[in-house]
Amino acid sequence: MLLPILLVVLVVYLFQKWTYSHWKRRGVPQLNPAFPFGNVADTFKQRTSYSNRLAELHHQAVRDGHRFVGIYTLLQPILLVTDVELVKRMLTVDFEHFVDRGAHVNEKRDPLSGHLFSLTGAKWRRMRLKLTPAFTTAKLKAMFPTMMACGRTLSAVIDDHVGRALAIRDLMTRFTMDVIASVGFGLECNSMRNPDELFRQMGGRFFSKSWKTSVRMLLAFVAPKVNRYLQVKLNDDDVEEYMLNLVRDTIAKREGGGEVRKDFIQLLVQLRNQVEVKDGGSWEMNKVDQNKTLTVEEMAAQSFVFLNAGYETTSSTVTFCLFELCRNKDLIRKVQEEIDRVMDGGREISYEALAEMTYLESCIDETLRKYPISPVLFRVCTKPYKIPETDVVIEKDTLVQISLVGLQRDTRYYEDPVKFDPDRYGERKSETMPHYSFGDGPRVCIGLRMGKVMAKMALVELLFRYDFELESPAADSGEIELDPSLLMLQAKHDVKLIPRFRAK
């Protein structure tokens, strides 16, 4: 009995020894792993988030003088890139070697995973080309009045809480959900007034705080090869069914000619029937084509990623930004003075007015630098790549990751990187300051401008009419504690702010 046990132990030992020598055998420096979690044991034990652990590994590699380093997630070898020039080359000049993100996608078993973020190769290129006209300035301007209706509701809700502590992230997730429901799906959600709205419950499940969500995210983005064997879906069956039925019903209304709205799903209906989104201000369809260029499942997947990308990015960005501004009264006054100047004479908030608020834009940029909502850039090598100035060749199918928390808080590129300093983006801004919160190159986030417009509009609604103070004075000198169970950056506890009407 003892001999078989010893043989099993020996096989396991030799297997992990061979697996964890992957990078050494290829002449790549590596950070020492430990079986069975590799370099991320604390993440699987929920002591720290994957993004923070990756940032720690980034800084360790920098201290050791490495431009790139090999690490392991479970038994999966990953190349962690720490040098900004190499990052820039991979995302732009040498993009053809790193076209795909390597995230989970299985359109047959998991139809909502077949969206622009995760699609690969030629299919991604075709979908990107089709969807790009949906995010032009003209389209965003046309959607803006719909967003503003949600902004007015936001102000009305805060009116009811003046002088009382308000859980700002919870409110901002409801605001963002209402905006996305309206401009993305053509729905009046109103979760700001009714937090139990079904659309909010279903849409928010993707980011719910649970061990199930954590495991799904890690498998989908950090260990996709493992997920191919386990076949774990990103969403529960009831969420998938709800989204598919919602899109199916909306298509029937729009193609039936009874409804035309200036929203994202109207553009998908155009695309489904007319091959391309119309330029300029046209939203109608000339015909309903029997030869559809998009399936219901493809439309649902694009709508679903529209929801997920906008939901977390906007709500967390506004929350983190308000937290930082409330800790520095000089900064919040400077932002409010700019808003007052642009809004002088009772001018209404408009797309053009937001574009004039350059200091507010700097505050959002600084928030996204310090708190990149998607804190890791994922790539997979799609064809062999020789790293410049080295003899190292990255093999096809190798996973590559870039820690944005590490890179954007790296003292080589940012002076006092923990400090919230919007003035970095004025005359002092340098090309050597890495800022990849929306990615870069051909796979830069297609909804970048829409996300920023939503965040700016929310902040203007809040800061034009109200002053805010932190409920806990101790928070003035501390950092936000981040949730260790989530892949994306999110506060472990909601930020409590007390709104008061501004004295003008």
| Rounded distance between C-alpha atoms, residue 445 and residue 438, angstroms | 5
Residue with tokens 């969420």: 239
Residue 208 and residue 214: Cα distance in Å, rounded?
9
H-run or E-run covering 337: helix 329-342
| d(C-alpha 8, C-alpha 165), whole Å | 59
What is the rounded distance in angstroms from the CA atom of residue 76 to the CA atom of residue 411?
29
Cβ partners under 8 Å of residue 413, min gap 6: 84, 407, 432, 433, 434
DSSP assigned state of 486 = -
Q: For residue 445, say whether it is annotated as part of any ligand binding site.
A: yes
Measured CA to CA in angstroms, residue 173 lies from 195, 414, 491, 494 at distances of 10, 30, 13, 11
- What the block records as the tokens of 395 is 């093999």
Upstream peptide bond of 442 is cis (omega within 30 degrees of 0): no
Q: Which DSSP string corresponds to 210-231?
A: SHHHHHHHIIIII-HHHHHHHT
- Residues with Cβ within 8 Å of 49's Cβ and at least 6 positions away in sequence, in order, are 43, 482, 483, 484, 485, 486, 487, 489
Residues 6+ apart with CB under 8 A from 40: 50, 53, 54, 71, 72, 73, 74, 222
Crossing angle of the two packed helices 237-255 and 168-185, in degrees rounded to 10: 40
Q: Where are the alpha helices (DSSP H) in 102-136?
A: 121-131
Residue 389, sorted as left (phi over 0), alpha (psi -120 to 50) or beta, turns out to be left
Specify the 3-state DSSP secondary structure of 410. Answer: coil
Ramachandran assignment for 379, one of left (phi > 0), alpha (psi -120 to 50 degrees), beta (any other): beta
Say if residues 467 and 350 touch (Cβ distance below 8 Å).
no
Closest CA to 26 of 298, 318, 392: 392
* Binding-site residue set for heme: 445
* Binding-site residue set: 445
